[in-house]
Amino acid sequence: MNNTTAPSFTSLTDLASERLGGKVLFCTDDFFAEKENLLKPGRGVFIPDKYTDRGKWMDGWESRRKRTEGNDWCVIQLATSGKIVGIDIDTNHFLGNHPPYASIEAVNHPPMENIDFGNLHWKTIVPKSSLQPGGQNFFEINDNNIYTHIRLHIYPDGGVARLKVYGEVFKDWSIVDGREVLNLAAATNGAKAILCNDMFFSHMENLIMPGRGINMGDGWETKRNRTPGNRDWVIVRLAHKGEIEKVLIDTCHFKGNYPDSCLIEGCDIAYKDESKLDSDAIQWVTLLPQSKLSADKEHFFEEANINKGPFSHVRLSIFPDGGVSRMRLWGKIK
């Protein structure tokens, strides 16, 4: 599939995201624009009068005009191993300098230094396909294998603004010790923000990203609500069903717009029943009672104050509205 209408797979996790931990390990050439731009958030920007000593500044990966045989390519290490469901090769703002064709290969290989990329057993998941200039080029992937790295080929040269690799995080839970405490609300472990009533200013997925928020836009923020007694909410599917032992709600950067208080509830349901999450059919159990929050602060809640579960999903409610940077839920799998 190659079109400009965003398909359903774009709601999945971007396994290559720089924010999640994806890295561009190598490219054959990035003379005009650095390879690292490929994995940055958004679709890239265009600044008409911005130039470098090498030419026009571009927000993407751009190689020089090739005067020899062959094509340019780059290798990306995914933030986490996973099943790839769809690809977006975005040529936003690359109009007279986009590659006319691209292909993508994938491999499952342990992270290590000094990988000989030429000797890996790459599998083609997107055959050589035409690209449209200045737009998103979507490709659906029908492959159930688990991959750790991809290689993007462009033919013969040119610029790509962003590369998104949508899929499902794979974690081998069979080797996880049941006594280990880990963040069950981490995107890198497979957690997913799946539903909310409002994310006017910033996306609910930010809640479960690694690290602290880099600014106020790097969190989940709802619009100002004037309805008396309002509460906004977001539902997160945990990486694995588990018992929660410690909670962190971080309002980093939210100073005049942090919520007054928060409440966390949990439930234990099968994934096939997720369509019922926004209905009265789900029996939510209080995990963390409604608790006061402060501006720009990490709020820790220990085991004595919480209901351990086990839970498969959690619902964070904020009163009456506002922004939360991160939510961490540490616990043990069940």
Q: pLDDT per residue over 169-209, tens digit each?
A: 999 999 999 999 999 999 999 999 999 999 999 999 999 99
Phi and psi angles of residue 173, each rounded to the nearest 5 degrees, phi first: -70, -15
* Tokens (6 digits) for 78: 């995914």
Q: What is the pLDDT of residues 234-260, one digit of tens each?
A: 999 999 999 999 999 999 999 999 999
* pLDDT class of 19 with cuts at 50, 70, 90: very high
Cα–Cα distances (Å) from 18 to 36, 52, 59, 152, 273, in that order, read 8, 24, 15, 16, 32
Distance between CA atoms of residues 145 and 156, nearest Å: 28
Question: Which residue spans of the chain are classified as CATH 2.60.120.260?
Answer: 8-169, 176-333
Task: Check residue 1 and give its pLDDT.
Answer: 47
Q: What is the pLDDT of residues 34-70, one digit of tens each?
A: 999 999 999 999 999 999 999 999 999 999 999 999 9
Phi and psi angles of residue 159, each rounded to the nearest 5 degrees, phi first: -130, 140
The pLDDT > 90 percentage for the chain reads: 91
* Global pTM value: 0.92
In CATH, 8-169 is 3.50.50.60: no
Q: What is the pLDDT of residues 119-137, one digit of tens each?
A: 899 999 999 999 999 999 9
Peptide bond into 156 cis (omega under 30): yes
Distance between CA atoms of residues 129 and 126, nearest Å: 7
CATH fit for domain 176-333, picks 3.40.50.1450, 3.40.50.720, 3.40.50.300, 2.60.120.260: 2.60.120.260
Q: At a CB cut-off of 8 Å and minimum separation 6, what does 104 contact?
A: 87, 89, 124, 125, 126, 139, 150, 151, 152, 153
DSSP code for 306: S
